[in-house]
Homo-oligomer: A and B are copies of this chain.
Amino acid sequence: AHGRRKLVSSANDEPCKKMTLYYHDILYDGGNNTANATSAAATEPTALSNSTYFGMLVVFDDPMTKRKALPVGNELPTARAQGFYFYDKKGSLNSWFAFSLVFNSTAYKGTLNLMGADLMGERTRDISVVGGTGDFFMARGIATLRTDAMEGLYYFRLQMDIKLYECYV
């Protein structure tokens, strides 16, 4: 009953599991949005920043949703993204992420762990799914990121296409 079989995809366009989720980052603006904000800068940009925030590290507990809209009222997000990103380029916006997707619903219980460079100058960019727990036991794969919205300085939304190529089922 406890046995799991490892599946390895034989083609990179055929993941053993696939889902698209939207990541919403609502950054603390230094003022009055503490009730809504889901992320905050833990460090200031360094002297290498040219309006590119080089060295600013942001800790987040961000909602992940199936559709583009933020959860309304008591609606729960599909998952939470818990982790951090920081900006790391002098001449343009570029960042680096490490985080967990935490699922706790009837559909899924468990986590996926991800890390990688968010090359914001590219239309799409891939980061690695390096492990998973619970329903995502030992998973590996790729998440393709797309900037879906940027609203002012304190909100952006990423589309994340999560494709697992090693699954234990």
Q: Does B113 lie within 8 Å of A127, measured CB to CB?
A: yes
Within 8 A of B (CB), among A30-44: 30, 34, 37, 39-44
Interface size bracket, A side: 35 or more
Query: What mask results when residues 16 to 40 of chain A are scored 1 for a CB within 8 Å of chain B, else 0?
Result: 0000000000001010001001011
Within 8 A of B (CB), among A106-149: 110-111, 113, 115-117, 119, 126-134, 137-138, 140-142
Number of this chain's copies in the complex? 3
A55 within 8 A of B: yes
Chain B binder among A64-72, A86-94, A151-159: A86-94
Tell which of B6, B46, B134 touches A8, judged by Cβ atoms closer than 8 Å: B6
Q: Does B113 lie within 8 Å of A94, measured CB to CB?
A: no
Residues of B within 8 A of A115 (CB): 98, 100, 113, 115, 130-131
Known: A4-B11, A39-B48, A111-B126. 18 other contacts (CB 8 A): A4-B12, A6-B8, A12-B168, A28-B46, A40-B47, A59-B86, A61-B88, A61-B90, A82-B96, A84-B86, A110-B126, A113-B127, A126-B134, A133-B142, A137-B142, A138-B141, A138-B142, A138-B165
A residues apposed to B, CB below 8 Å: 2-6, 8, 10-14, 28, 30, 34, 37, 39-44, 46-48, 54-57, 59-61, 82-84, 86-90, 94, 96, 98-100, 102, 110-111, 113, 115-117, 119, 126-134, 137-138, 140-142, 165-166, 168
